[in-house]
Amino acid sequence: MPTQVFCMSHPGNGIRLRNGANELRYLFAWRTVPYGRSRPRLTRVRRRGTFQRMEDDQKAEKDGSIRAISRAIAVLQAINRNGALTLTEIADNAGIPHPTATRIVRTLLEERLIEREPSRKRYRPTALIQTLSCGFQNHDRLVSISRPHITRLTRLIDWPISVVTRVGQAMVVRDSTSALTSLTFNNYYPGWQVPLLPSSSGRVYFAFASPDEQEELLKAYRVNQRGVDNLTLREFESGEATAKIRRQGYAAATRTQYSANPGKTSSMAVPIFEGEHLLGALTMVFFANALSIPDAIRRFLEPLKDCAKAIGDEMAAAE
């Protein structure tokens, strides 16, 4: 039997053993033994899985982020979007391992941000969750004022309408009438995000934003170009796309790829202003196979603009 030679190195917090073309990765796990002494136990883990998550965590630390907080936020968003969820559903929706979800849920229970339903093993948000959004009263006012207007518009045209505002390089749904019509593939609840420049709502927001805000967004895209192609970015950097959108008063996106059903829907959006202040965008989403962009503009652009103006006027009057 040939002699096997192992080469040992230390990748981060673990040990890597190489044997020719084969490679095994190990992590140190410490356990307490009698007399208060500790000894290392060499534990084999999967090549991808625990070790991969550790590498991801190390990368996150280099980026200045804390992975545990990101995962806790993902859990809160999952529960807030879907209502009462089981632990398995929380883990699936947040995209994290079940043991991690269990630890986070236990912490959120202790902080009283969520609670367990008395009759079943489901977890739901408590009223304390509202303390995390107390700085966004203006958006609450936008939702309460816009709701009657977008409800009336959906009853008039049948297509779902969404009120969307910017958060970083994304546009976030604040309210939607997707649950009020059958002309939708999915219900888009508050919190649903779409990328800024590829979306109609993001494009129209960018076009009507102040020059300083536009430059800030472009600078962020130059640092991290995630979610936008080079051609689209160049069109907005040159000012060509911005000028066109401002001239026509709307933005459109054909067969969007970032929806719950990629390629099956198109959309158009108009800005919402409170006086001179840009609040967000009003978006209409429709089946790409049922309605072309030119037809949608011809039939529904003016009602959409009228709705956005009515919302903005009421916001200004209620100030």
What is the pLDDT, as a whole number, of residue 135? 57
Helix axis angle for 87-94 and 67-82, nearest 10°, is 120
What kind and span of H or E run contains 241? helix 240-248
The beta strand positions in the chain, using DSSP E, are 7-9, 14-19, 22-32, 38-44, 114-116, 123-125, 161-167, 170-176, 193-195, 251-253, 265-274, 277-287
**Measured distance CA(158)–CA(136) in Å, rounded:** 30
DSSP 46: -
Backbone angles phi, psi at 183, to 5 degrees: -85, 60
pLDDT digit string (tens) for 151-191? Answer: 999 999 999 999 999 988 889 899 999 999 999 887 777 87
Instruction: With beta carbons less than 8 A apart as the criterion, state whether 116 and 122 touch.
Output: yes
What Cα–Cα distance (Å) separates residue 101 from each residue in 16, 48, 92, 94?
A: 29, 19, 9, 8
What the chain holds in terms of domains, given with CATH numbers, is 7-60 (no CATH), 67-125 (1.10.10.10), 136-318 (3.30.450.40)
**What does pTM read for this prediction?**
0.62
The model's confidence at residue 84, banded by pLDDT at 50, 70 and 90, is confident
